[in-house]
Amino acid sequence: MTSYKEIVIRLVLSALIGGLIGVEREVNNRPAGLRTHILVSVSSALMMLVSINGFIDAETGLRTGDSARLAAQVVSGMGFLGAGTIIKTGGNIQGLTTAASLWTCAGIGLAIGNGYYFGGLFTSMTVLFTLMSLSSFEKRIAKKKYKILKIKCINRPGLIGEIGTMLGKHDIIIRNIDIVNNEVEEDEEEYGTMEIHFILDIKKYFNSSMLFCEICEVDGIHEAIFDGNRVLCSID
């Protein structure tokens, strides 16, 4: 049987590791943050401890069942929780990294709960390095390959479609659309404002000055920023 001291160490350590990964997700405003990752790690460690100690006869000291079954259900059960963090909007999918981090935290919790400290700690360091360092590296690569168009505009029906049609005329491929700010007016008759980021795949011969001229012709756009250049559009 695992001692009380060892049980406390494993549960606290799994909570700390899950918390570190959760903080990174919380800072990046992801669906699952600090508390969720801690709960996943601690509960996984607890399930492993139950698997180790819960199937031993107190009198004979012999194992009375297959202890691996309970811990194995954690791996499959995490699929339901991870699926709840994945959001699909049109062709854009968000939350896959958070779902993967939750699944990894479950694995780390199982490892720590089993006393496999080296594997759990080394995995946690790898996960933190991947989430914190490789994210900026990934963005630098994407920045070299794609261009970002930032638009501040009125949140009216059909606006994104009109912008997409205008970009399509110039053979520009939209790789991703992200609405980073959406303010709703208290008066329901008035439209709110929003900021949209378009990640674009642009041909080498593209003329950015022509893009600015046509953007301002789209009704409802206040401001556009593209490739370091900024233009203000007059609103009637």
pLDDT tens string 115-134: 888 988 999 999 888 888 77
Would you state the pLDDT for residue 141? 65
Among candidate residues 140, 164, 195, the one where a domain is terminated: 140
Residues 81, 181 within the same domain: no
Structural domain of 130: 4-140
The number of distinct structural domains making up the chain is 2
Q: What is the pLDDT of residue 16?
A: 92
Q: What is the pLDDT of residue 39?
A: 87
Ranges of the chain whose pLDDT falls below 50: 186-189
User: Whole-prediction pTM value?
Assistant: 0.57
Angle of helix 4-27 versus helix 96-113 axis, rounded to 10: 170
* Same domain flag for 113 and 183: no
- Domain final residue, candidates 89, 113, 140: 140
**What pLDDT score was predicted for residue 190?**
58
Report the pLDDT value the prediction gives residue 64, as an integer from 0 to 100: 61
State the CATH number of the domain containing residue 193: 3.30.70.260
Amino acid 189: pLDDT: 46
Residues 190-229: pLDDT tens digits? 567 888 888 888 776 677 777 777 888 888 888 888 877 7
Domain match, 34 and 134 both? yes
Assess whether 154 and 182 both reside in one domain. yes
